[in-house]
Amino acid sequence: MNEKLKGRKSGVLVGSRQNIALIGFMGAGKSSVSRCLRDLLSMEEADTDAMVVKAEGMAIADIFAKYGEEYFRRRERDVIRDLENRQGIIISCGGGVVMREENVINLKKFSRIVLLTAAPETILERVRHSAERPILNGHMNVEYIAELMEKRRKKYEEAADLIVSTDKKNVRQVCEEVIDRLSETEL
């Protein structure tokens, strides 16, 4: 870790909202950035998708196929509620988490919320070979991604304490920017 980052590190973690929640569209880089932040900041990591998968014993695509999206959204809400008493964790949120206001209210109570963004073309490049995202099944194209992103944009932006673009940056650069900018913002 470089000197600048070391100095910033402690500043990210003080205050009552000790967790960092990463939100953003599918393929915005939440999981990779979460892993990198976990390592740089020596924090633990919680991934809402992985928590739902573990609780249900099924892949997300199977949960959608068997029980439908609304069921998945309720499980997603439950895992976020369950995180309330955790401290010092990076929370990597599924792309649809902010569509429920209750989730945003809960996340805001105990986390600083960082929105990761990317252009629809970048998103497509990152997710085009994924069969794990039922929302994009049959819609793997820039037009659909751009349209859904636009529909969600307001909710993402309203939820965010900080917005970081990931276009043309590697994971490490995004992490350093998140850490730098979180250290500079009000807690």
- The residues that touch ligand S3P, with contacts defined as CB under 6 A, are 26, 30, 49, 60, 94-96, 133-135
Q: How many CB atoms lie within 10 A of CB 172?
A: 12
Specify the residue, 49 or 176, whose C-beta has the smaller distance to ligand S3P: 49
Q: Give the residue among 124, 113, 114 at the shortest CA–CA distance from 148.
A: 124
Specify the residue, 91 or 179, whose C-beta has the smaller distance to ligand S3P: 91
Q: Minimum distance from CB of 84 to ligand S3P (Å)?
A: 20
Q: Minimum distance from CB of 4 to ligand S3P (Å)?
A: 30
Q: Minimum distance from CB of 65 to ligand S3P (Å)?
A: 12
Q: How many CB atoms lie within 10 A of CB 54?
A: 11
Specify the residue, 13 or 164, whose C-beta has the smaller distance to ligand S3P: 164
SS3 assignment, position 25: coil
Q: Minimum distance from CB of 12 to ligand S3P (Å)?
A: 23
| Location of structure tokens 């994971």 | 171
Specify the residue, 41 or 97, whose C-beta has the smaller distance to ligand S3P: 97
| Location of structure tokens 């995004």 | 174
SS3 assignment, position 114: strand
